[in-house]
Chain A
Amino acid sequence: MNGFSPATHLILAILGPLVGAAVAWGMAPRGIHAVRQSALVTALVTLGIVGLLVLRGLADPVLTGGGAFAVSSVPWLTDGPFAVRLSLGLDGLSLWMFGLSALLTLTAVLVSWKAIQDKPAAFYMLLLVLEAAMLGVFAARDVILFYVCFEFTLVPLFFLIGIWGHDDRRRAAVKFFLYTLAGSVLSFVGLVTIVIWNASHSGVLTFDIAELTAGVRAHPLPMDAAGGWLQWLVFLALLAGFAVKVPIVPFHTWLPLAHVEAPTGGSVDLAGVLLKLGIYGFLRFSLPMLPEASAVAAPWLFALGAVGIVYGALVALVQTDLKRLVAYSSVSHMGYIVMGLFALEPAAVEGASLQLVNHGLSAAGLFALVGMLYERFHTRSIASLGGVAARAPWLTVMFVLFTFSSIGLPGLNGFTGEFLILCGAFQRAWTGVSPAWQATYLTLAAAAVGGLVLGAWYMLWAVERVFFGAPRRPPQDGDGHPAEHAVAVAAGPHHHDPVAHGPAHHGPAPAADLEWHEWAALAPLALFALWIGLQPGAFLGPSAAAVRGATAQAAAAFTAGMQPPTTAPHTVTANLTGGRQR
């Protein structure tokens, strides 16, 4: 029975990529083909294991009811009262992101298929280690394990950017590493403070997230002058790490740089999963453990989210580098998620949690496509590209599809999350805030809707310039050096380092249109984009209870802070799912 329990299944899923990483490393002497095939097999097998686990989770009423699934816990660092355990498990908050991490790793392997010719063994090893870290962070039920994985995602990505990136990769890697590290170190301080506070009140030194949550609910961190505003300080400490990670404007400037310099595979994981860790942190720690402080901060974060939407979109509007444009679009779209989360309304928080997955799919797809364009034309400059549709029709179809997903066209996934987020945001603005805040909230919510117009503007502008019109330059078959050089000069100082060459132009020239590995990378993303767009309920349902549970305390605190406490806690209403019409 225990032979293949969900818990074992989960551990297998995390260990799989680590084994695969070692195998990929060991394949180094046997050439690039063996390396990338082994990486592909690992990614596929892991995705299979994760996929089955997700299906098992969906079938488990405990998970859909808001509880944890596939829980295991073994002592790790135990010494006296100090008991760090390797606690793993999945719940509604983490289930989809866990699955997405495995899916996007497959995408990352496939988009690197030809792009990475230099030191492939190290590249794929790091990619698979990164996968293990991403899976670990979503499966962790222990603060220390969470934090270790949280930070450990930085290391592979640091090297991926620093070694396989483009011309300015060193600066980008260091900035990315230090900026996010600086933030998350403060988060660690905050997390440890929670642990110590809990220990000082319950007498048990525990690092278990569930126990901590229960503990601080029983003994909330003080939110007044007498208590030294401890809850508020801890919230700010957590915020420092999570806000950089998301990133919330104005802590976003590492992101465009990191994306532009990162290899495509790294960008896919960065945009698809790593940005979500910040939001996941809010959902896992800030909102449930520090509800009062979250409630106080909610209006400000709601506002920062709305500002980020408009600001990111405006900056995206004037970008000349396609990858930078997509990176700023990520800043804008993460603004919706922040806004939805801190609207603290049922529709908005469920929409935000769905939008984590949605943005992961569409941003990963767009970054993958930008990488494919780069492999073909050796430039990301929007001005130098043009008329790609005539040469690569299917690539264009996929780009337009992911553009539609990104700009929230109904029927695709982007719409579902943003609609619910905005619905909840308006609801909060309309009925849920004190009159003093109402005008501000309404303006912010309307501005967020305006972001839909701006989002369409920059994306469709880019599509028009890159894909439509007359072809602007001849195809760079074979050696792309002249073009590459021109771009490099335009982009900044050219490094004369032995490893300082863009990886793309060393590979064999790709076919004009999508190749099999590119199809394989994009098709699953496109299918999920369509599926979520048509049936978001199937994806919302399993996580609804957990997301509600995580935010309920903060929402109640917010309501209490906004008006005299009148409304009673909600009771269950009739479920209309099977409603019949006349």
Chain B
Amino acid sequence: MPPNLPATLLVLVPLLPLLAGLVTIVFGRRLGPRVHMPAVIGIGAATGAALLLLVAAGGTGGGTHEAPRPAETTVTLWQWATIDRAIDPQPGSPAALPGIAVGSTDSGTRPLSLAVTLRLDPLTATMLLVITSIGLLVAIYSIGYMHDDPDQPRFFALVSMFVFSMAMLVASSSFLLVYVFWEAVGACSYLLIGFWFRRPEAARAAKKAFLVNRVGDFGLAIAVFLLWLTYGTLDFHDVRATDGTILPGILGQTRLADAGGFVGGTVGTLICLCLLLAASGKSAQVPLHVWLPDAMEGPTPASALIHAATMVTAGVYLVARCAPLFVVSPGALAVVSLVGATTALVAALIGTVQTDLKRVLAYSTISQLGYMFASLGTGTLAGFTAAIFHLVTHACFKALLFLGAGSVMHAMGGVIDMRRFGGLRAVMPITAATFFVGSLALAGVPPFAGFFSKDEILAALHARGWPDAHGGVHHDHEPAAGAPAAVRTARLVPSTAAPVVPAAWRSTAPAATPQAVGPLDWLAGAGLYRGLFWMSLITAGLTAFYTFRAVFMTFTGPLRLPPEAAHAHGGHGPDDAHGTHGHGQRGHESHGHASAPNAHGHTAAAVDAAASHESPPVMTRPLVILAGASLVIGWLLFATHGLGGFLAATPSLTAPAVVATRVPPAFHLDLAIQGTLAAAIGIALAAIGHLGRRSDAPSLERFLGPLQTLFARRFFFDEIEHAVVVRPLESLAWFAALVDRVVIDGLVDAVARVPAALGDIVRRGQAGVLQRYSLAGVAGVLAVLLALAWQLWQ
């Protein structure tokens, strides 16, 4: 590969979707029936580029036993802004790594140098491939799904812009750019959730998504400012100044090689918690998860792409990218795990009673993202790579499930309430089969994709809960090639001295430079991780239950179709134009049973059975591809340990404190059995409750009693947040408006009446309010001026 090729490809991956989006915006309706072409071609080409990048990003890493070398390439596109002499780092602070950054020619001041720089490393390459390939399949699927929508240009433009923004987010090499595209993907998400803006629910859901995400962005903004103040830069990578000095980036190799390069303690914990807040917003973690279920108001392909496969994983990406920052703050890591495992469990419980197929999947997404966070919070190399592994497999099978749900919705005329249809496998065999494959993957049944990644997550949690069972860290005796001596000592922490939590997990620093203890570090005990492990195992069972509950309700039992299904041609919102394209539309109309109530059950269904049909090939083919991927990708990546070894060369994961936690890859048979058992129990329960039954029949939920209400009302999160945050703020706003009108403006008016009153006394009857005021004013000024002049002149 020519030396410049990776850089060029790296620029092309976001650039092509951007161009596609711009072409779609500019030419819009003039493209006619080919309106999807720019998006499909642009994202398709970007997928190709991302595939090539995967090869380029590998670097010299590879083997599972040799220590990886960090592999990164950066490309600076343009200088966004430079504020000269913006900061004066205090001596000894990480911002002024002595001897590296502060040259003798200056007094130590640093510019705030904000450049648009892209980076390529294994983590970025992995994310780029996920984004572009899922984006491509979703774009192709949308050709069929959005076929009848009059606003197709807007849809394809937004999808292209989203792929661009998301690619930039993961390819950015500075926290500023991450913030920029963090918000940009949020804006795309806002516009896509509100795509059918005539529906008030869609408009409200879009606003809610943006605002809840803004709360997360609040955290990211503060984290960015604190990082800037702590490290004196916002770049990930090292920057070589014109005079040859190196400004170490926050995640640059200079700092990574320095064992004391990262700040722990209170500040470090604070930064990490702010980053976690940001990640929680984007990745829908408790308590900021409330926007994601509502986001299902958007078109289903957008849900699949943004709210299942890619954008919601940005939080996972961010934490993984910032691994070196987190590992020096064990307390923050513990919070990450705690939030993740809690989210996983809570969302799974809510998912068990949902009746809207897309919402089941939405809660499932929240729950699976929780798994990833739980894994990240272990702070081990295995945990970080397992999270990304699960991210990749989840992207495949969750996109598959969402697109499958969209296919159902497409055929059902926009109905997605599982109680209103059933037995669909008879009319939609491809959708049913692929959905089944996706469900097996989600439930973690071997050998489907989810099984392997979930197993690695459970193993990572288990390793923190029972470190002795996994041999602590002493498997790793190989120092990283080329790492400085200080790092070697850091990594040779004797595991015998740390029976429960290895010293390397408590702190990054070698004994020579003790790190400050963070305020939450007491959390990070093995006991916590044991609890989280059990929570995750229970969640695995619940996952299998709600997934198969949905499968059985939708695809098995007697065939039942809602009346809307007869008009099912892409009509999803009340405002959507009814289809004009083929597929026997005329035949449907002749049935003339639009008013048939749902209770007609079998008779209506029998009539509809002939009318309903599988989705067109342009929609089912992406399903088949994703099903194939869901079948093999887990096994493939696990068996070769390709992903783990590949990711280990990511600079962030070569921080000494991360490398110190390396353990040889192993298959944990005991954990696999436990996980599979949990899944089997969940599937069995779902089968007892729903297999072969009418989907609107009373089911297992009736045994839950008051818990059913709790789950169905989503643990009252919306209500509580409304009462605790929204209401008080609104009251405060009313109060402020009242103060504004009565007190502040009232005072102003009162003061304004004083000269008027005086004027009335002095010159009664003089017409013209303005003249009077002005005269009084001018006279007053003159008096003051004369007095001042007199005083000064003396």
Contact of A315 among B204, B736, B778, B788 (CB under 8 A): B736
Inter-chain contact B113/A314, CB cutoff 8 Å? no
Partner of A537, one of B80, B110, B769: B80
A540 to B729: give the CA distance in the assembly, Å: 36
Which of B109, B197, B199, B737 meets A570, CB within 8 Å? Answer: B109
Docked-complex contact A579 and B206, CB < 8 angstroms: no
A189 cross-chain contacts in B, Cβ below 8 A: 781, 784-785, 788
**In contact, A449 and B197 (Cβ under 8 angstroms):** no
A118 an interface residue at 8 Å Cβ cutoff?
Answer: no
Instruction: Verify B243–A574 contact, CB threshold 8 A.
Output: yes
**Pick from A409, A446, A468, A537: contact of B194, CB under 8 Å:** A468
Most buried by B among A200, A314, A431, A567: A314
Size bracket, chain B contacts: 35 or more
Say if the beta carbon of B701 comes within 8 Å of chain A: no
Question: In the bound complex, what is the Cα–Cα distance between A375 and B494 (angstroms)?
Answer: 77
Residues on the A chain within 8 Å of B748, using CB: 175, 179, 253-254
Q: B198 touching A387 by the CB < 8 A rule?
A: yes
List chain A residues, Cβ under 8 A from B103: 574
What 1/0 flags go to B697-741 for Cβ under 8 Å of A? 000000000000000000000000000000001101110110010
* B733 neighbours in A (Cβ, 8 Å): 314-315, 317-318
**A475 lies within 8 A of chain B by Cβ:** no
Is the CB of A535 closer than 8 A to any CB of chain B? yes
Known: A174-B770, A464-B206. A578 touches B242 (CB 8 A): yes
Proximity string of chain B (211-253) to chain A, C-beta cutoff 8 Å, 1 when within and 0 when not:
1001101100110011011000000011111110101000001
Q: Is B752 an interface residue (CB 8 A)?
A: yes
B84 interface residue per 8 A CB criterion: yes
A18 CA to B792 CA in the complex, in Å? Answer: 39
From A431, A469, A575, contact of B197 by CB (8 A): A469
Binds B, one of A70-78, A191-199, A361-369: A191-199
Chain B CB within 8 A of A460 CB? yes
Partner of A576, one of B82, B217, B774: B82
Q: State whether the Cβ of A2 lies closer than 8 Å to any Cβ in chain B.
A: no
Q: Smallest distance from the beta carbon of B586 to chain A beta carbons, Å? A: 29
If A196-B793, A318-B733, A453-B218 touch, does A577 touch B82 (CB 8 Å cutoff)? Answer: yes
- Asked if A568 and B107 sit within 8 Å, CB to CB, the answer is yes
The yes or no answer to B105 lying at the interface (CB within 8 A) is: yes
Number of interface residues of A (CB under 8 A): 87
State in angstroms the CA–CA spacing of A468 and B180 once bound together.
Answer: 26
Beta-carbon nearest neighbor of A396 in chain B: B197
Q: Judge whether A83 is part of the interface by a CB distance below 8 angstroms.
A: no
User: Nearest B residue to A567 by beta-carbon distance?
Assistant: B88
Does A456 interact with chain B (Cβ within 8 Å)? yes
Across the interface, A535 reaches (CB within 8 A) one of B78, B229, B239, namely: B78
Report the stretch among B40-48, B181-189, B453-461 that lies at the interface: B181-189
* Residue A240, interface by CB 8 Å: no
B83 at the interface (CB under 8 A from A): yes
For A553-576 the 0/1 string (1 means CB < 8 A from B) is 000000000000001101111111
Q: In the complex, what distance in Å separates the CA atom of A226 from the CA atom of B383? A: 68
Q: What residues of B have a CB within 8 angstroms of the CB of A326 in the complex?
A: none
Q: Is the CB of A423 within 8 A of B225?
A: yes
Whether the pair B229, A431 counts as a contact (CB closer than 8 A) is: yes
Q: Please, how many angstroms separate the alpha-carbon atoms of A29 and B136 in the complex?
A: 63
Contacts of A177 in B (CB 8 A): 770
Interface string of A305-324 (1 = CB under 8 A from B): 00000010011011100000
Please measure, in the bound complex, the distance between the C-alpha atom of A564 and the C-alpha atom of B736, giving whole angstroms. 40
Question: Is the Cβ of B90 less than 8 Å from the Cβ of A431?
Answer: yes
A-B pair number, CB within 8 angstroms: 245
A453–B781 Cα distance when bound, in Å, is 44
The CA of A445 and the CA of B79, in the complex, are separated in Å by 27
Known: A175-B752, A537-B82, A572-B85. Is A460-B207 also a contact (CB below 8 A)? yes
B211 neighbours in A (Cβ, 8 Å): 453, 456-457, 460
Q: Collect the chain A residues with CB atoms within 8 Å of residue B740's CB.
A: 253, 311, 315
B687 CB-CB contact with A under 8 Å: no
Q: Does B760 make an interface contact (CB < 8 A)?
A: no
Contact in complex: B214, A318 (CB < 8 Å): no
Contact partners of B190 in chain A: CB under 8 A? 460
A566 to B34, CA, bound (A): 68
B117 at the interface (CB under 8 A from A): yes
Residue of B nearest to A430 (CB): B229
Nearest to A244 among chain B residues (CB) is: B748
Q: Which residues of B contact A254 (CB under 8 A)?
A: 748
Residue of B nearest to A234 (CB): B788
Hey, which chain B residues are within 8 Å of A463, CB to CB?
Answer: 207
B218 touches A350 (CB 8 A): no
Q: Of residues 746 to 780 in B, which have CB atoms within 8 Å of A's CB atoms? A: 748, 752, 769-770, 773-774, 777-778, 780
Complex: A400 Cα to B154 Cα, angstroms: 14
The reply on B745 being an interface residue by CB < 8 A is yes
B137 within 8 A of A: no
Q: CB of A389 within 8 A of chain B? A: yes
Minimum distance in angstroms from B180 CB to a CB of chain A: 4
Segment 459-512 of A: residues with Cβ below 8 Å from B: 460-461, 463-464, 467-470
- Say how far B15's CB is from chain A's closest CB, in angstroms: 14
CB neighbours (8 Å) of A317 from chain B are 729-730, 733
- Name the A residues within 8 Å of B203 (CB-CB): 464, 468-469
Q: Which residues of B contact A540 (CB under 8 A)?
A: 81-83
CA distance A345 to B222 in the complex (A): 17
Question: Is A297's beta carbon under 8 Å from chain B?
Answer: no
- Give Cα distance in the complex from A571 to B106, angstroms: 6
Give chain A residues whose Cβ lies under 8 Å from the Cβ of B218: 449-450, 452-453
Contact B222 A178 (CB under 8 A): no
The distance in angstroms between the C-alpha atoms of A390 and B573, with both chains bound, is: 14
Say whether A107 faces chain B, with CB atoms less than 8 Å apart: no
Q: List A173-212 residues whose CB lies under 8 Å from chain B.
A: 174-175, 177-179, 181-182, 185, 188-189, 192-193, 196-197, 200
What's the nearest-Cβ distance from chain A to residue B123, in Å? 18
Q: Are A468 and B200 in contact (CB under 8 A)?
A: yes
Given contacts A192-B788, A540-B81, contact A453 B109 (CB under 8 A): no
B210 at the A interface (CB under 8 A): yes
How far apart sit A311 and B206, CA to CA, in the bound complex (Å)?
25
Cβ–Cβ contact A196 & B789, under 8 A: yes
Shortest C-beta distance, B395 to chain A (Å), equals 25
B55 within 8 A of A: no
The complex places the Cα of A314 from the Cα of B89 at a distance, in Å, of 37
Q: Quick check: A200 and B85 within 8 Å, CB to CB?
A: no
Contact with A along B168-194 (1 / 0, CB 8 A): 000000001001110110010011001
Q: Is A149 engaged at the interface, CB distance under 8 Å to the other chain? A: no
Chain B residues with CB under 8 Å of A422's CB are 221, 225
Cβ–Cβ contact A423 & B112, under 8 A: yes
Given contacts A315-B740, A536-B81, A574-B241, 10 further A-B contacts (CB under 8 A): A196-B788, A314-B729, A317-B730, A409-B183, A411-B180, A426-B228, A427-B87, A464-B207, A468-B206, A571-B107
19 contacts between A and B (CB under 8 A): A181-B777, A189-B784, A250-B744, A253-B740, A315-B736, A318-B730, A347-B83, A404-B187, A415-B183, A420-B112, A431-B229, A449-B218, A449-B221, A457-B214, A570-B88, A570-B109, A579-B247, A581-B75, A582-B238
Binding site for B on A (CB under 8 A): 174-175, 177-179, 181-182, 185, 188-189, 192-193, 196-197, 200, 250, 252-254, 311, 314-315, 317-319, 345-347, 350, 387, 389-390, 400, 404, 409-411, 415-416, 419-420, 422-424, 426-427, 430-431, 445-446, 449-450, 452-454, 456-457, 460-461, 463-464, 467-470, 534-537, 540-541, 544, 567-568, 570-582
Give B residues with C-beta under 8 Å from A. 74-76, 78-88, 90, 103, 105-107, 109-115, 117, 176, 179-181, 183-184, 187, 190-191, 194, 197-200, 202-204, 206-207, 210-211, 214-215, 217-218, 221-222, 225-226, 228-229, 237-243, 245, 247, 253, 729-730, 732-734, 736-737, 740, 744-745, 748, 752, 769-770, 773-774, 777-778, 780-781, 784-785, 788-789, 792-793
Q: Which 4 A-B pairs have the closest CB atoms?
A: A468-B203, A410-B180, A426-B225, A253-B745
